[in-house]
Structure 1
Amino acid sequence: MSDPLHLFDAFGVELEYMIVDAQSLDVRPIADLLLKEAAGEILSEIELGEIAWSNELALHVIELKTNGPAPSLDPLTDYFQQHVKQANDFLATFGARLLPTAMHPWMDPHAVQLWPHDYNPIYEAYNRIFDCRGHGWANLQSVHLNLPFAGDEEFGRLHAAIRLIMPLLPALAASSPICDGKPSGFLDTRMEVYRTNSQRIPSLTAAVVPEPIFTEGDYQREIFAKMYADIEPHDPEGMLQFPFLNARGAIARFDRGAIEIRVLDIQECPAADLAILQAIVATLKALVSEKWSPLAEQQLVATMPLSQLFLETIRTSDATPIEDGVLLRQFGWNDRHRPTAKELWRHILAELNMTPAKESPLDVILSEGPLARRILHRVGHDLTQLKSIYGELAECLSSGTMFRA
């Protein structure tokens, strides 16, 4: 067996994209055909050098991910961009292409087609219990960041830090302001529909922000045991009795020695996603090293204020006022003035000597707003522009460029 990875030794990154018609931009459920084109047969996952491709629950979604733990985030922008081009080249033969952002702006989720091949029994179990014909299952594309830990001490530090940063993430990453053909009232609509998609069994998602649990034993008892007991009457075959059943915004994978952060909307191009991930990792490193506050204080921060703030940031993103002095102290904010989420991020990056260069992806996000705000700015009151705006977003993905307000 290889030695376990320790904190920040490596990174697992997963990017999900929609497959759409190249002309109409309507969803095209052909992920299996894309994988067959790349592999010569229908497989649920194919390894293509540094990046692997795999299916997701919905047949119109493809996931590009690091092929195993990557030792650095730095080269991933170029790797992912090359694979976006490769996927688009294959899809062109079907008159299709990849579309970014976390939600398709006008798809009808009732028309969703589930992946029909291997793993289908798991997807069908989800469909039977939760009914996947809703935006919260059928129409959400995210970025997952996997971070390793070895043992309880590292898990406790990392889990504490992730809980603190989670309510701030939609301020950078919100990219889903349009749903059912119109603005939804949320900049991060994906997280609004995600947080309610398992409400039939509330213990799966809980408050999205995970509970203050800092050892594997406590996690097994307080989260997994309750979850498995609650699903059992609906899942007598035990099809879903696995860690992936956990639908919190960050989930512990003790089988892999990693925590997976799942609350990030996908951006317009990999450069934007990786810029956000670099900021997150640097901030988590600072928290874990107790730069601003001791671990004992971090672990005392209660779930409900964090969850309440998260509900506000999925609505108003970067403009959300942050009033919680206890949380602000965890990031070294000692000013009596209460910042917006954007001001807090600028403060954090300055503290970490990471003030973004002019016109860099992070500078665009902090200057012009998250992608959701830029989309709304361009839409204005004219919803007839949706198709041309999302066509431009597809071009941004193809060319690896930022979408500007």
Structure 2
Amino acid sequence: MTVGTEHEYSINDAHFTALPVSDQIIKAICGRFESEIRFGEVNLGKELQKSVIEFVPRTPASGPAALEAQIFSGIEKFYRVFPARYHLLGLGMHPTLTLDRAIVWDHDEGEYYEAYDRLFNIRQHGWLNIQALQINLSYAGEKDLLVQYNRIRTLLPYLIALSASSPMVEGRLTGAMDNRLLFYRENQKEIPGICSGIIPARLSSVAEYKSAQEVIYTELRERDAAILCEEWLNSSGLIIRFSRQCLEIKALDEQECVRSDMAFVAFVSSLLRCTTLPVESDQDSLLALTETAIRQGTAGLLPELEALYSHAWRKATAEERQYLPVIKERIAKGSLAEQIAERYRKEQAIEPVLADLAQCLRANRPYGAE
């Protein structure tokens, strides 16, 4: 199995005000506005909002170390090219960004954005202020695809709890730990099958998946939005990318540094080697667990997470065991969202927290590590 990742970071000034300048950054590098460019060991790309830029490793890998090396080299190169002008920041949402300052990419692919906007209104959280860590896992044929798909869907609530890093919206704590998913799961509510409440149903065949897609495509065509009838339309927490022959996990909030991201790669990869896991598989139960994860982070699923960690450690490779302690720390201390919220309640100031988190990304050091 090979793994690939996608990492989304907000672009900020020195005081962590989000800057809608991804287009200007790309143009400064290559001399023109492009959606994606080669940038050393990574591809650098735009997102819907111009205050976010995406780093993608140029090649997938068999484990987290090679991916980490590629992405972190991209981060280091970015700061060599822009040593003081911009500050990158992880997290699932920018904590203080307001929608009036969220600017949509306006150089190409406008026809897709126009269709989305007409159907769903993209000028809202859930579209414009989201940053995800996406993990892409290869599969070897339909049998392997189905086994891995059905295992991953049962892991999503726990991964959501661990990765939650968006406790603040427009400068205030909301009480939820994963506000990105609160907004994201509603952003296409007019056609609910697109997102499926984050957790997809159990799958018995590829034909079943494609049939469900076609139902959505039919509705889109009826709404004069056939342009959106592509495999990437599916916005569930787990989708199939047939063109890449991989499963794409979309439910995770971006973390504070590349090493923390890779800890999730190690955790998922090791758990997928387990033939049995102490997790629910019933759809209603998974949806209820997801609600707990979104609202409480790790605090609501602590015994289950501890059990999963034990299973992961037993099945992990030597390389993966170098990363899993980050997950152990998240279980012990709380998700990044829980730690941010706790610190903000004590200090009543977010800028120092963001400065520390930005430094974590720049140094590739997990938050709270010595």
After TM superposition, the score normalised by the length of structure 2 is: 0.92
**CA 1:363–1:190 in 2, change beyond 3 Å: closer, same or farther?**
same
Structure 2 counterparts to residues 24-43 of structure 1, below 5 A: 24-43=15-34
Aligned pair 1:54/2:19, yes or no? no
Which among 46, 56, 63 is matched to residue 72 of structure 1?
Answer: 63
Which residue does 1:375 correspond to in 2? Answer: 340
Which residue does 1:336 correspond to in 2? Answer: none
Aligned pair 1:18/2:7, yes or no? no
Which residue does 1:346 correspond to in 2? Answer: 309
State how far apart, in whole Å, the 1-side matches of 2:73 and 2:325 are. Answer: 20
Amino acid corresponding to residue 108 of structure 2 in structure 1: D
Which residue does 2:329 correspond to in 1? Answer: 364
Instruction: Write the deviation string for residues 239-298 of structure 1: whole angstroms up to 9, x where unpaired.
Output: 101111111110111222211000111111100110121111110122xxx2559xxxx9
Which residue does 2:295 correspond to in 1? Answer: 315
Amino acid corresponding to residue 151 of structure 1 in structure 2: G
Structure 2 counterparts to residues 2-401 of structure 1, below 5 A: 8=1, 10-21=2-13, 23-92=14-83, 95-221=85-211, 223-234=212-223, 236-286=224-274, 290-291=275-276, 301-321=281-301, 340-352=303-315, 360-383=325-348, 385-401=349-365
Conserved in 1, the CA contact under 8 Å of 2:270 and 2:313?
no
Aligned pair 1:404/2:333, yes or no? no
| Cα deviation, residue 358, structure 1 | 11
Conserved in 2, the CA contact under 8 Å of 1:16 and 1:62?
yes
Instruction: Give the number of aligned pairs.
Output: 367
* RMSD (CA atoms): 2.3
Conserved in 2, the CA contact under 8 Å of 1:36 and 1:42?
yes
| Cα deviation, residue 39, structure 1 | 2.2
**CA 1:46–1:357 in 2, change beyond 3 Å: closer, same or farther?**
closer
State how far apart, in whole Å, the 1-side matches of 2:311 and 2:252 are. Answer: 18
Instruction: Write the deviation string for residues 72-113 of structure 1: whole angstroms up to 9, x where unpaired.
Output: 3222223212211222333446x3221111111111124321
Instruction: Write the deviation string for residues 44-69 of structure 1: whole angstroms up to 9, x where unpaired.
Output: 11123432111111111111012243
- 2:54 aligns to what SS in structure 1? strand
- 2:94 aligns to what SS in structure 1? coil
Amino acid corresponding to residue 281 of structure 2 in structure 1: V
After TM superposition, the score normalised by the length of structure 1 is: 0.84
**CA 1:362–1:302 in 2, change beyond 3 Å: closer, same or farther?**
closer
**CA 1:356–1:370 in 2, change beyond 3 Å: closer, same or farther?**
farther
- 2:196 aligns to what SS in structure 1? coil
Amino acid corresponding to residue 133 of structure 2 in structure 1: V
**CA 1:52–1:357 in 2, change beyond 3 Å: closer, same or farther?**
closer
**CA 1:74–1:37 in 2, change beyond 3 Å: closer, same or farther?**
same
Conserved in 2, the CA contact under 8 Å of 1:374 and 1:404?
no
State how far apart, in whole Å, the 1-side matches of 2:128 and 2:80 are. Answer: 25
- 1:213 aligns to what SS in structure 2? coil
Conserved in 2, the CA contact under 8 Å of 1:175 and 1:371?
yes
State how far apart, in whole Å, the 2-side matches of 1:352 and 1:227 are. Answer: 38
| Cα deviation, residue 214, structure 1 | 3.0
- 2:251 aligns to what SS in structure 1? strand
Conserved in 2, the CA contact under 8 Å of 1:319 and 1:341?
no
Conserved in 2, the CA contact under 8 Å of 1:12 and 1:69?
yes
Amino acid corresponding to residue 365 of structure 2 in structure 1: T
Amino acid corresponding to residue 250 of structure 1 in structure 2: L
- 1:225 aligns to what SS in structure 2? helix
Instruction: Write the deviation string for residues 89-139 of structure 1: whole angstroms up to 9, x where unpaired.
Output: 33446x322111111111112432111112222122212221112110111
**CA 1:69–1:173 in 2, change beyond 3 Å: closer, same or farther?**
same
- Whichever of the two has the greater Rg, that structure is 1
Conserved in 1, the CA contact under 8 Å of 2:162 and 2:298?
yes
**CA 1:292–1:360 in 2, change beyond 3 Å: closer, same or farther?**
closer
